[in-house]
Chain A
């Protein structure tokens, strides 16, 4: 590895970090405005024109609040809980290909931090350890409601991870590769996976909502039953980190959905462009897709009421997993037929 590559990758990592945080901050503003619009209100409009400085005001407020740790809490675990949540939310962005190669200073710069040959498995690995942040935080608070929230989160995430993995396997079968870069390149132009695998996309979308703890699957922090769920005892920026990590993972999982099913940075008519114009347009197309997914996720939150917990488990184990398995089997048969193995 040469020095230029080291600098280029570090710059990309830093840029992604800042973009993820910035997008997460403005997602809170966007969500509040959207909720206000859906409920026929005005929404935040005091800080700056149209309330555009609201996230900054919120962040400052979070930092200025008293940082409280309950007397009987497990201090260390209480502190690292939000940290793990934030870490797992941010780290996934390193395997996402954000655009075609950019040519700067005479070098071809790949807009993907790490092109693993197992990128999609890496995403699942990170998703599966993401639950630790919530579990550890909820348990360490030494509060019944927090513990309920933590247990709900873990059982929900384990149940939905299976269906998520099985629905994503169909994409791996179609592409023949586990690398996210290969998956995106195989969807060149308008050849998106969602046209071949609409059912898998549907399942993946629902399970993503459940993994994100977003409504209608936000039972771990269900206000009407559990006060605040796993973050009941948290205050100040620790609470801020939990809330922030939810929005960051929303951004990243929207990106993953766009990569797997909606062609990533590909857009129709992309062959007409080349070089840096193509790179910038592809980044713009990708950003647009991510924005649309974020919008739909928020729209669902303000439209559909919360599930009951037994309904959630029923949906996960008895509906989504069997449907995903049947879908996988049919895809496998079709792929085998096309390859001439049967």
Chain B
């Protein structure tokens, strides 16, 4: 089986499970389909020889963030009766936002077809391996890397502060 075959199959599976996230009736099932989608995306990374990204995607998204999603949904115990009424206004804004995103994606796709690449090609075969990635992050991309870590810390401290303030009100 050629690499292209595999990537086509993986891509269609990813899209199918992504659709199931939107189409499935129950929010818990949606989350589980989203986890499956993340696994397929990890598989794509492995196909592109980016093992480190694949595993980090698994640990961070499938492992940590989605567990928190599931956690919150289980506590909320959503069902049909509790579904909030959506106003016409929010429907319209949602359609506009989604349509804009779709437009951006079509532009991006058009670019890839124009350059005649079609499927994803890796410029350097071992670009995604951890040694190469680490060296790049700590030399060429040092400043963006550090800035994004500062952003992360700021977000974390902010979350802790918000949680703390709420507690003081309860006390």
| CB of B35 closer than 8 Å to a CB of A | yes
Cβ–Cβ contact A139 & B130, under 8 A:
no
Instruction: Flag the segment in A29-37, A151-159, A253-261 that touches B.
Output: A151-159
Cβ–Cβ contact A128 & B129, under 8 A:
no
Cβ–Cβ contact B74 & A178, under 8 A:
no
| CB of A131 closer than 8 Å to a CB of B | yes
| CB of B70 closer than 8 Å to a CB of A | yes
A117 to chain B: which residues have CB within 8 Å? Answer: 51, 129-131
**A147 to B63 CA separation, bound complex (whole angstroms):** 19
- Give the contacts of B55-90 with A (CB-CB under 8 A): 55-56, 58-59, 62-64, 67-68, 70-71, 74-75
Q: 19 interchain pairs (CB within 8 A)?
A: A74-B26, A77-B29, A117-B51, A117-B131, A118-B130, A121-B56, A122-B55, A124-B59, A125-B55, A125-B58, A128-B63, A128-B64, A129-B58, A139-B28, A139-B70, A147-B74, A154-B67, A155-B71, A158-B67
Q: Which of A125, A139, A158 has the most CB of B within 10 A?
A: A125
For B71, give the chain A residue with the smallest CB separation: A154
Measuring CB to CB, which residues of chain A are less than 8 angstroms from any residue of chain B? 74, 77, 116-118, 121-122, 124-125, 127-129, 131-132, 135-136, 139, 147, 150-151, 154-155, 157-158, 161, 178
Cβ–Cβ contact B67 & A121, under 8 A:
no
Cβ–Cβ contact B32 & A121, under 8 A:
no
Cβ–Cβ contact A178 & B130, under 8 A:
yes
B interface, size bucket: 20 to 34
B64 to chain A: which residues have CB within 8 Å? Answer: 128, 158, 161
For A129, give the chain B residue with the smallest CB separation: B63
**A125 to B129 CA separation, bound complex (whole angstroms):** 17
Cβ–Cβ contact B32 & A77, under 8 A:
yes
Q: Which of A122, A127, A128, A151 has the most CB of B within 10 A?
A: A128
Cβ–Cβ contact A132 & B35, under 8 A:
yes
Main secondary structure of the interface of B (DSSP, over half): helix
Cβ–Cβ contact B130 & A154, under 8 A:
no
B59 to chain A: which residues have CB within 8 Å? Answer: 121, 124-125, 128
**A135 to B28 CA separation, bound complex (whole angstroms):** 11
For A131, give the chain B residue with the smallest CB separation: B67
Cβ–Cβ contact B129 & A150, under 8 A:
no
Measuring CB to CB, which residues of chain B are less than 8 angstroms from any residue of chain A? 26, 28-29, 32, 35, 51-52, 55-56, 58-59, 62-64, 67-68, 70-71, 74-75, 129-131
Cβ–Cβ contact A135 & B129, under 8 A:
no
**A131 to B32 CA separation, bound complex (whole angstroms):** 13
A118 to chain B: which residues have CB within 8 Å? Answer: 51-52, 55, 130
For B51, give the chain A residue with the smallest CB separation: A118
A131 to chain B: which residues have CB within 8 Å? Answer: 63, 67
**A140 to B111 CA separation, bound complex (whole angstroms):** 45
Cβ–Cβ contact B51 & A116, under 8 A:
yes
**A179 to B99 CA separation, bound complex (whole angstroms):** 45
**Which 9 interchain pairs have the tightest Cβ spacing?**
A128-B63, A125-B58, A121-B55, A125-B59, A125-B55, A139-B74, A128-B59, A154-B71, A129-B63
Given A77-B32, A178-B130, also A151-B74 (CB < 8 A): yes
**A150 to B28 CA separation, bound complex (whole angstroms):** 14
A132 to chain B: which residues have CB within 8 Å? Answer: 35, 67, 70
Min Cβ gap B153→A in Å is 13
For B28, give the chain A residue with the smallest CB separation: A139
Min Cβ gap B41→A in Å is 14
Cβ–Cβ contact B75 & A151, under 8 A:
yes
With beta carbons under 8 angstroms apart, the residue of A74, A125, A136, A150 that contacts B63 is A125
**A118 to B129 CA separation, bound complex (whole angstroms):** 9
B63 to chain A: which residues have CB within 8 Å? Answer: 124-125, 127-129, 131, 161
B71 to chain A: which residues have CB within 8 Å? Answer: 135, 151, 154-155
**A63 to B3 CA separation, bound complex (whole angstroms):** 43
A155 to chain B: which residues have CB within 8 Å? Answer: 71
**A77 to B31 CA separation, bound complex (whole angstroms):** 12
For A80, give the chain B residue with the smallest CB separation: B32
A127 to chain B: which residues have CB within 8 Å? Answer: 63
Min Cβ gap A124→B in Å is 6
**A125 to B46 CA separation, bound complex (whole angstroms):** 14
**A150 to B73 CA separation, bound complex (whole angstroms):** 12
Cβ–Cβ contact A150 & B67, under 8 A:
no
A122 to chain B: which residues have CB within 8 Å? Answer: 55
Cβ–Cβ contact B62 & A121, under 8 A:
no
